[in-house]
Amino acid sequence: MNLNPLRNEISTGPLIGCKWLGHWTPYAEAIAENYENWWPWFSTLTVNLGAPPDFFTQFTEMQKDDVLIFGAHAVLNDFPFYFLQITHEQTGIPWVAPNIVPFAPVTAYAGTNVAGPAKFPEAFFYPKNTRLRLDWSSIDPSAPNLDPCTFTFIGVQLTGPKGGRAPEEVTMPDGSITRVGSRIPLFLTIGAGQRSVGTQIFTFGNNSQAVQYMPGLDCDVEIHDASLNFFFGYQSFITNLRLKYVAMGIESGWTPSFSPFMSFYGRPGADYPNLPFCKPWTLPAAHRQQINMINPNDAAPLNNGLLTLRGVRKCFY
């Protein structure tokens, strides 16, 4: 029998989950080994969005050394309403895949408040002398004037590159060679229910069913975990929401029957705000994912619910 153990190696290591426990991915470790010194690094930004709709763009400071960003933390009260798109200005690659929802909830990026930081599915290699652009949005007309959000990137500053410059490629656990900068955190976001023409937010009507699709991408991506931006404390009837998940390209239903939302999606404030898949799954290029959802509640509809899958974009442009 010709087994191929290396093929099954998990590219982000054997411990699955977004909780920040101090462990590194093999990609991050392989990059760091090309530098003399590794130092803790934090970059904190503050944003305060006003009455919706409101938008704000800010940039991280250019760094004099290369940095690996592992995850993020956010201090905020109004977490269901803060949405964020991050773009690496130098390459122009957005972290949230282009879609009718052009951002992800801040809680998909960051652990909140006392729950502590959350890590990205893969460390982001942040080259020196470049910037990250953060585009913040608040669009829900029912949102209040938002309290400020303090957002912190958590990473490692790498100094003294061996050979005088950053590595161009590293070896992954399966033996393959990966270009440094080709593994980028990826967010796929869609709304729960249907989009309202008037307000642009998603509304999931009571006693209704909706089907939504995640966008297909132009290269293979790893999907790691899933989250939503609201939870039962805000919407008591969320406990009754059900979903059935289908990977369209290979027509594989993941759920024999409808399953509770909370068995699939993590929620803000939990140990794992992005609930992991048992094993990261490779979504082939151009394949879409279907979410068939049911809201059997008789009570008021769910407004402004966003569902996010996180993963790793494996493209190199």
Partner 1 sequence: MYFFNKYIMRILDYYRNHLELIDTIAIGFTGVAGQRVAPVFTNEISEDVLYFGAQVNFSSADTLVRIKSISPQYDWMADDNAVPQDTPVNAIAGVFSQSLPVLPLVQPYFIKKQGRLQMNFTNSPTIALTGGLWTWRALRLTQPINGVGWDYSIGFA
**Interface mask toward partner 1 for 79-98; x: CB under 8 A:** --------------------
Using rule CB under 8 A, residue 311 touches partner 1: no
Q: Which is nearer to partner 1, 88 or 310 (CB)?
A: 310
Site for partner 1 in 204-233 (CB under 8 A): 232
Residue 181: CB minimum distance to partner 1, A = 27
Q: What distance, in Å, lies between the first and last C-alpha atoms of the chain?
A: 38
Q: Does 176 bind partner 1 (CB under 8 A)?
A: no
Quick one: which of 260, 284, 286, 299 contacts partner 1 (CB under 8 A)? 260
Q: For partner 1, what does the binding mask look like between residues 23 and 52, x meaning CB under 8 A?
A: ------------------------------
Q: How far is the CB of 258 from partner 1 (least distance, A)?
A: 7
| Shortest CB 285 distance to partner 1, Å | 16
User: What sign does the dihedral 192-194-196-197 (CA atoms) show?
Assistant: positive
Q: How far is CA 147 from CA 18, 49, 50, 85, in A?
A: 26, 7, 8, 19
Neighbours of 218 (CB within 10 A): 11
Establish if 284 lies at the interface with partner 1 (CB under 8 A).
no
166 in Cβ contact with 180 (< 8 Å) = yes
Q: Which stretch binds partner 1 (CB under 8 A): 135-143, 177-185, 270-278, 306-314?
A: 270-278
Q: Which residues lie below 8 Å from residue 22, measured CB to CB, with a gap of 6+?
A: none
Whole-number Å distance between alpha carbons of 152 and 110: 8
Q: Which residues bind partner 1 (CB under 8 A)?
A: 1-5, 7-10, 14-17, 19, 115, 232, 239, 245, 247, 252, 254-260, 262-264, 266-267, 269-272, 275-279, 281
